[in-house]
Amino acid sequence: MTMKRAITVTVNGKQYHSEVEPRLLLVHYLRDVLDLTGTHVGCNTSQCGACVVQLNGEAVKSCTVLAVQADGCEVTTIEGLAPEGSLHPIQEGFWEKHGLQCGFCTPGMIMASYQLLKNNPNPTEAEIRKGLEGNICRCTGYQNIVRAVQYAAEKMQTSVSEPVSAGD
Amino acid sequence: MGIAAMLGTSIKRREDPRLITGQATYVGDIKLHKMLHMAVLRSPYGHARINSINTQPALDHPGVIAVYTAADLKGKVGDVAVAVPIGHIANGMGIRGPLAEGKVRFYGDPVAVVIADDAYTARDAIDLIEVDYEPLPVVVDVEKAMQPDAPLLYEEFGTNIAHSIHPPSDEMDKIFEQTKADGGIIVRARLVNQRLAPVAMETRGVVADYRKANKTLTVWCSSQNPHILRNILSAQVGLPQHQVRVIVPEVGGGFGSKIDIYPEEMIAAFASMQLGRPVKWIEDRSENLAVTVHGRDQIDYVEIAATKDGRVTGMKVHGISDLGAYSQLFTDVIMIAFGFPVSCGAYDIPVHLWGDIVFTNKAPTDAYRGAGRPEATYVVERAMDLVARELGKDPAEIRKINFIKPEQFPYKSSAGAVYDSGNYEPALEKAMQIIGYEQLRAEQAQKRAEGKLMGIGISSYIEICGFGPKGSAPIGLYESARMRVEQSGTVMVYTGSSPHGQGEETTFAQIVADEFTIPIENVLIIHGDTDSTPEGRGTYGSRTTAVGGSAVFNASQKLKEKMKQIAAHMLEASPSDVTLEDGNFSVAGSPQKAVAFAEVAAVANTSNTLAPGIEPGLETTVFFEPDACVFPFGSHICAVEVDKDTGEAKLLRFVAVDDCGRQLNPMLVQGQVHGGIAQGVGQAMWEEVVYGEDGQLLTATLMDYAMPIAKELPDYELDHTVTLTPVNPLGVKGVGEAGTIGSTPAVAAAVADALGVPHVDMPFRAEKLWKIIHQA
């Protein structure tokens, strides 16, 4: 049995100290060790994007990151996108525009959209569709997801919202 | 009938708050005390004998609690369930226990399971099991499997053909001869609906928890039908039905692939019963692509006869359904029971049907969004286009000539189905108007003059759904609703439906809020737990609103009547004079004398002031069984352009005009159509399950199985018509599958049109189209 490694990871503003096998995937660390089950596993080849989280301010597919790689890093998951009881404009957009049905791809889709809008606060429809090429949805046919992101982009240009961080 | 303010409104979903914040519980999120994890060892061969299995090295691995093979399950677990075994299947062909015994028959066939302390250990340990396989010849082509010299999956039956339906065709042959003699045409084609993978974004999963002391089994499962799962699973593991509870948590998509009761659920239940601890199994994506049921995989030979004026006089269809290696719940009847009855599509034409269902060394097929109807629609729509092409007529015109006319409803089709209501031409007209059909054809002519390849395709579909009436399945496909108006005036509704993204927590609440004229916040819809919900049948076959919603509606009618009685007593009036409006019961014409909904609820529940003879409480359970299926319809029109240099097809526009009867929540209806179209387009353009000649699955990850993604799809331009159905009190049909059924043939027609050829088989990969272009 491989020796476990000690890691310290800050997730949604909270610091965790854990001992993990080197091969433990970040997505499994979040889901099974930290009980943050909002991030989902939808495939095994990093195609689907259900596992997208923020790692040190950049979107990553957490199924293709090892937990030990997140040692000393900050992670934001869907649970940390907005303070409890409130919704990030992207989450609002998905609700308003019916951008989800079964909800399984949704956390990853929202986190990917978050990155998309960080890079490009005023995307065209084509830029949204291209920007979400790393996320697969089987239910919605994508049209309402695009509308949701457009809604959020508009809302975010008129107000500021920050995800949960170490300062909270 | 009180369908009023709430219904027809596009209100936001109550489901969403938990889903958009990552607070929902899917089966993979469940953690129980002392829970164990299961991993499955699967056959790497498409066809092989199992000479021996040595599980000891796995048992010796630290953290492994148990290892099971078929020998351990013998006599303790039944066979994988088949709803309607036909032909040789009724004699055991294609029937198997949950783990392979003696033979494996497809890549991924489960051979053994490991139960361990954690998922990583279980996965490590399955690699230690030693299986001595003796590979056998493989057959993955269904027509080859029908040949006398084909490798046999079930040697004792001497054939791979499980059942044939070959009625004589004398009458149709006469029609064909007459048509020919009168100067008409006969067109023939071989059409392929390729094998698809449903790919719900959440793979399958189960947690089975058996308590030895009480002999009770609780099963959490990503399933579309908790009650069916409970009924079948309890019988398979030898537990009385009342000792089994099934809880369906959030389900991340089903599309038909989570109807069946699969081997892994049976084995997890068995393991938990052996060990007295919860056992969890979550499928990985490669397993899902290999063994969760595949869809379609049907070859059709069609012959269609028409007068030179375009009136179709008859059609012959020979359908060959590829079952895969085993029969699961509906595998054997998808083509025959769901597709064949609607073979004539939207047209008043006689059809002669021949069918063969055949086993091959591939995963079992079963229901996948549309289940038989996409195949049937594809056949008749492509046939209509071939007639149009042969006669030099516009495909829209050919359809209009042959549509069933409004005055012909209810329409008894030659294939057996009786269509409830329909009005097909306005939907087609509307679609043509939205896409600007005339201008589009002009644009096409212009582009062709420039050497560009632009195509336009039409599909005018009908489908059969809302299962179903008596006799449509061995177990009765009614739906249930238990409704309770509480002391405070809030309403709890327990439904036997099992939505997994369709939004009935919202639409059912809309029905109740409308009927009781109360705020929708006061209504709660509960589903998924067999302990709290009445016997139900689940969500598939576009039935949840038509059947489940009708049960909810009828339950609210019943309680409304009782509340009127109680209110009448409170108002000292006659019940027939009492109306319910804006949340108040009052005497018609005297609105100042009123009692609130909540007041009446309180009186009913606290009983002391109830009139004698009225039973306390406000609770009722209703079972709704429709007398017939319902038949949504519509027209889809698609424009594509194919790049001459690369063969790449691009969708320029997609217009869909669908009629699902009354729409309770238009936003949710559109969502269903969007998603349905994406899957139908997916079949046409990109998706295909591919096996090598040796039986190896070549599309075993999402790197190889091409899923539709956002940048490949256009915006969908939707509109609708409303033709109510008399079959249920809401007037609703179904819409969950319609988008998938209608869209595939429209894309197929557009691509053939673009290339100027009669037909191209799906999927429309660039290489395939390029070859066709450059052959010409």
Q: What is the mean pLDDT of residues B88-93?
A: 98
Please state, in angstroms and rounded to a whole number, the distance separating the CA atoms of residues A9 and A15: 6
* Residue at a domain's end among B595, B624, B653: B624
Decide if B158 is inside a domain.
Answer: no
- Dihedrals phi, psi of B480, to nearest 5 degrees: -125, 160
**Domain range enclosing B211:** 31-136+201-253+258-291
Please tell me whether residues B600 and B654 are part of one structural domain.
Answer: no
DSSP B282-295: E--HHHHHHHSPBE
Please state, in angstroms and rounded to a whole number, the distance separating the CA atoms of residues B415 and B764: 31
Decide if B747 is inside a domain.
Answer: yes
Q: Which of B562, B570, B566 is CA-nearest to residue B593? A: B570
Q: Quick check: B623 and B479 in contact, CB under 8 A?
A: yes
pLDDT classification of B591: cutoffs 50, 70, 90: confident
Q: Quick check: A70 and A6 in contact, CB under 8 A?
A: no
Q: Residue holding tokens 């327990």? A: B494
Can you give the pLDDT at residue A168?
41
Nearest Cβ partner of A48 from B12, B702, B711?
Answer: B702
Q: Choosing among A104, A130, A135, A147, which should be mutated to test the B contact, i.e. which has the most B CBs within 10 A?
A: A104
* Min Cα separation B280/chain A (Å): 13
Using an 8 Å CB-CB cutoff, list chain B residues near A103. 15-16, 18-20, 24, 250, 252, 501
The end-to-end CA distance of chain A, in Å, is 39
Residue B3 pLDDT exceeds 50: no
Tokens found for residue B553:
């509606």
DSSP B522-560: GEEEEESBTTTSPS---S-TT-IIIIIIHHHHHHHHHHH
Would the CB atoms of B285 and A45 count as touching at under 8 Å?
yes
Please state, in angstroms and rounded to a whole number, the distance separating the CA atoms of residues B755 and B119: 51
Would the CB atoms of A50 and B255 count as touching at under 8 Å?
no
Residue of B nearest to A24 (CA): B120
Would the CB atoms of B707 and A96 count as touching at under 8 Å?
no
Task: Outline which parts of chain A fall under CATH 3.10.20.30.
Answer: 5-80
Fold annotation for A5-80: Ubiquitin-like (UB roll) (3.10.20)
Please tell me whether residues B565 and B427 are part of one structural domain.
Answer: no
Would the CB atoms of A138 and B251 count as touching at under 8 Å?
no
Decide if B142 is inside a domain.
Answer: no
Nearest Cβ partner of A143 from B202, B668, B715?
Answer: B715
Can you give the pLDDT at residue A161?
61
Residue A144 pLDDT exceeds 80: yes
- What CATH number did the domain enclosing B648 receive? 3.30.365.10
Can you give the pLDDT at residue A160?
63
Can you give the pLDDT at residue B776?
64
Q: Quick check: B414 and B350 in contact, CB under 8 A?
A: yes
Can you give the pLDDT at residue B472?
85
Q: Choosing among A48, A101, A105, which should be mutated to test the B contact, i.e. which has the most B CBs within 10 A?
A: A101
Using an 8 Å CB-CB cutoff, list chain A residues near B13. 95, 98
* Residue at a domain's end among B243, B269, B291: B291
Q: Which of A146, A134, A16 is CA-nearest to residue A73? A: A16
pLDDT classification of B7: cutoffs 50, 70, 90: confident
Using an 8 Å CB-CB cutoff, list chain B residues near A132. 709-711
Please state, in angstroms and rounded to a whole number, the distance separating the CA atoms of residues A71 and A26: 10
Please state, in angstroms and rounded to a whole number, the distance separating the CA atoms of residues B751 and B649: 8
CB pairs under 8 A between A and B: 181
* Min Cα separation B368/chain A (Å): 13
Nearest Cβ partner of A91 from B20, B28, B31?
Answer: B20
The radius of gyration of chain B from alpha carbons, rounded to an integer in Å, stands at 28
Please tell me whether residues B580 and B671 are part of one structural domain.
Answer: no
Q: What are the angstrom distances between the C-alpha of B723 and each of A81, B341, B419, B480?
A: 44, 21, 12, 25
What is the length of chain A?
Answer: 168
Three-state SS across B336-373? HHHHHHHCCCCECCCEEEEEEEEECCCCCECCCCCCCH
- Secondary structure E strands in chain A: 5-11, 14-20, 52-55, 58-61, 74-76
Query: Order of strands, edge to edge, in the sheet holding B110-116?
Result: B64-69, B110-116, B36-42, B279-282, B205-211, B216-221, B244-247
Please state, in angstroms and rounded to a whole number, the distance separating the CA atoms of residues B80 and A11: 44
Using an 8 Å CB-CB cutoff, list chain B residues near A31. 28-29
Mean pLDDT of chain A: 95
Task: Outline which parts of chain A fall under CATH 1.10.150.120.
Answer: 89-156
* Min Cα separation A103/chain B (Å): 5
Would the CB atoms of B13 and A95 count as touching at under 8 Å?
yes
Decide if B145 is inside a domain.
Answer: no
* Min Cα separation A114/chain B (Å): 13
3-state secondary structure of A104: coil
Q: Quick check: B278 and B31 in contact, CB under 8 A?
A: no
The end-to-end CA distance of chain B, in Å, is 61
- What DSSP element (H or E) covers B572? none
Can you give the pLDDT at residue B565?
96
Helix ranges, B368-496 (H): 373-391, 395-402, 424-435, 437-449
Q: What is the mean pLDDT of residues B573-584?
A: 95
Q: Quick check: B264 and B207 in contact, CB under 8 A?
A: no
- Dihedrals phi, psi of A136, to nearest 5 degrees: -110, 135
Would the CB atoms of A38 and B28 count as touching at under 8 Å?
no
Complex-level ipTM beyond the 0.95 threshold: yes
Using an 8 Å CB-CB cutoff, list chain B residues near A133. 709-711
Residue B379 pLDDT exceeds 60: yes
| B437-474 per-position pLDDT tens digit | 999 999 999 999 999 999 999 999 999 999 999 988 88
Q: Domain total for chain B? A: 3
3-state secondary structure of B574: coil
Would the CB atoms of B676 and A141 count as touching at under 8 Å?
yes
3-state secondary structure of A41: coil
DSSP state of B152: P
% of chain B surpassing 70 pLDDT: 99
Would the CB atoms of A104 and B201 count as touching at under 8 Å?
yes
Residue B517 makes CB contacts below 8 A (sequence gap 6+) with: B4, B5, B580, B581, B582, B583, B584, B597
- Dihedrals phi, psi of A76, to nearest 5 degrees: -120, 125
Residue B592 pLDDT exceeds 90: no
Mean pLDDT of chain B: 97
Would the CB atoms of B31 and A38 count as touching at under 8 Å?
no
Please tell me whether residues B285 and B348 are part of one structural domain.
Answer: no
* Min Cα separation B10/chain A (Å): 10
Using an 8 Å CB-CB cutoff, list chain A residues near B707. 47, 136, 138
Q: Quick check: B761 and B774 in contact, CB under 8 A?
A: no
Q: Quick check: B36 and B693 in contact, CB under 8 A?
A: no
Would the CB atoms of B21 and A87 count as touching at under 8 Å?
yes
Please tell me whether residues B656 and B711 are part of one structural domain.
Answer: yes
Nearest Cβ partner of B701 from A40, A44, A110?
Answer: A44
Please state, in angstroms and rounded to a whole number, the distance separating the CA atoms of residues B403 and B774: 37
pTM of the model as a whole: 0.97
B470: left (phi over 0), alpha (psi -120 to 50) or beta: beta
Please tell me whether residues B316 and B460 are part of one structural domain.
Answer: yes
Q: Is A15 exposed, middle or buried (0-12, 13-18, 19+ CB in 10 A)?
A: exposed
CB atoms within 10 A of CB B582: 12
- Dihedrals phi, psi of B90, to nearest 5 degrees: -65, -20
Using an 8 Å CB-CB cutoff, list chain A residues near B120. 21, 23-24
Please tell me whether residues B85 and B219 are part of one structural domain.
Answer: yes
Please state, in angstroms and rounded to a whole number, the distance separating the CA atoms of residues A23 and B107: 28
pLDDT classification of A63: cutoffs 50, 70, 90: very high
Using an 8 Å CB-CB cutoff, list chain A residues near B201. 40, 42, 48, 50, 102, 104-105, 136-139
Would the CB atoms of A142 and B707 count as touching at under 8 Å?
no
Q: Which of B288, B368, B304 is CA-nearest to residue B335? A: B368
Decide if B575 is inside a domain.
Answer: yes
Say which amino acid occupies A88.
Answer: H
- Would you call the peptide bond into B364 cis, given omega within 30 degrees of 0 as the criterion? no
* Min Cα separation A67/chain B (Å): 14
Q: What is the mean pLDDT of residues B491-508?
A: 97
Please tell me whether residues B222 and B274 are part of one structural domain.
Answer: yes
Can you give the pLDDT at residue A2?
76
* Min Cα separation B503/chain A (Å): 7
Would the CB atoms of B21 and A138 count as touching at under 8 Å?
no
Tokens found for residue B58:
């796995």
Please tell me whether residues B283 and B306 are part of one structural domain.
Answer: no
Decide if B500 is inside a domain.
Answer: yes
- What CATH number did the domain enclosing B76 receive? 3.90.1170.50
Nearest Cβ partner of B501 from A31, A102, A128?
Answer: A102
Can you give the pLDDT at residue B647?
98
DSSP B261-330: --HHHHHHHHHHHHHSS-EEEE--HHHHHHHSPBEEEEEEEEEEEE-TTS-EEEEEEEEEEEEESS--SS
- What DSSP element (H or E) covers B227? helix B226-237
Q: What are the angstrom distances between the C-alpha of B587 and each of A97, B489, B598, B604, B609?
A: 41, 20, 17, 19, 20
Please say whether the dihedral angle defined by the alpha carbons of residues A106, A112, A117 and A118, taken in this order, is positive or negative.
positive
DSSP state of B614: P
Please state, in angstroms and rounded to a whole number, the distance separating the CA atoms of residues B685 and B139: 26
Would the CB atoms of B201 and A35 count as touching at under 8 Å?
no
Would the CB atoms of B29 and A91 count as touching at under 8 Å?
no
| B291-303 per-position pLDDT tens digit | 999 999 999 999 9
| A4-56 per-position pLDDT tens digit | 999 999 999 999 999 999 999 999 999 999 999 999 999 999 999 999 999 99
CATH code matching the domain that covers A89-156, chosen among 1.10.150.120, 3.40.190.100, 1.20.1630.10, 1.10.357.10 = 1.10.150.120
Please tell me whether residues B742 and B615 are part of one structural domain.
Answer: no
Decide if B645 is inside a domain.
Answer: yes
Please tell me whether residues B707 and B584 are part of one structural domain.
Answer: no
3-state secondary structure of B409: coil
| A93-113 per-position pLDDT tens digit | 999 999 999 999 999 999 999
Using an 8 Å CB-CB cutoff, list chain B residues near A142. 674, 678, 708-710, 713
Q: Quick check: B542 and B580 in contact, CB under 8 A?
A: no
Residue of A nearest to B665 (CA): A98
pLDDT classification of B590: cutoffs 50, 70, 90: confident
| B730-751 per-position pLDDT tens digit | 999 999 999 999 999 999 999 9
Query: CA dihedral defined by B438, B439, B444, B450, rounded to 10 degrees?
Result: 140
Would the CB atoms of A44 and B17 count as touching at under 8 Å?
no
Would the CB atoms of B707 and A140 count as touching at under 8 Å?
no
| B133-146 per-position pLDDT tens digit | 999 999 999 999 99
Q: What is the mean pLDDT of residues B700-722?
A: 97
Decide if B462 is inside a domain.
Answer: yes
Please tell me whether residues B313 and B457 are part of one structural domain.
Answer: yes
Please state, in angstroms and rounded to a whole number, the distance separating the CA atoms of residues B587 and B745: 56
Please state, in angstroms and rounded to a whole number, the distance separating the CA atoms of residues A53 and B439: 47
Can you give the pLDDT at residue B5?
65
Q: Quick check: B283 and B27 in contact, CB under 8 A?
A: no
